[in-house]
Amino acid sequence: MTSSELWDHDTAERYDAEEAALSSAAFLRPTLDFLAELAGDGRALEFAIGTGRVGVPLRERGVPVTGIELSAHMAAVLRRKADEDTLPVVMGDMATTTAPGRFTLVYLVYNTISNLLTQDEQVECFRNAARHLEPGGRFVIELLVPPLRFLPPGQVAVPFDVSDGHLGFDTFDVVEQMLVSHHFTRDGDDGRYRRGNSRHRYAWPAELDLMARIAGLTLERRVADWDGAPFTQDSAKHVSVWRKPA
């Protein structure tokens, strides 16, 4: 078992509703186009597939998808959308668990590699991806760029959402490369808010490239988003593609 925090029943049941804006057909179209092109005529493996926000519509595009998922509660929500024959899921962590067969594409979306809280585990995640890839296959990660430029001396918190229904901010430990995401979410119409938080280990793009090299993968492409916008010093996140040698 890795250090990833295990998502419980209540969190899994709320997940799709809270991430509805990120699950619409319009929002997901660039993501699915990007991944489907890389998968080609082959099979795709999603690490930490969760409730199937990306994996289910990618399967509906005609790409055979298999998932690896640590939380049985998240997988149970996915099962309401697709059965085991349609979208197989192997229970376990993304750093060590293996799925049968080989794949032309392995992918991780929505900052999920940061759920692994040590550098060693993140390196093992790259190695696990490489083990699953066919020669010439690709490993794709979507990950934020740590917003440390917003931290003046002595400040440890950066807000990322201030709205009527949600207040979110990250606190940083820059020595350990750890951040904690804090959420205050409106819970009903009576003015109550639900508090939650999650821990993450952030990593810089160059650090990920070294992890990829350790796993025998080579950077092929890095863009700012799924639509292919150029990655610059001002990009808030990146989508990176590493290739296994043919």
Q: What is the pLDDT of residue 1?
A: 59
Q: How many residues in the chain?
A: 246
Tell me: the pLDDT tens digits for 179-197? 999 999 888 777 788 898 9
Nearest to 15 by CA among 173, 164, 136, 196: 196
Domains of the chain, first to last: 9-145+203-243 (3.40.50.150), 148-198 (2.20.25)
**C-alpha span between 184 and 66 (Å, rounded):** 33
**C-alpha span between 133 and 43 (Å, rounded):** 10
Whole-prediction pTM? 0.94
Tell me: the pLDDT tens digits for 186-235? 887 777 888 989 999 999 999 999 999 999 999 999 999 999 999 999 99
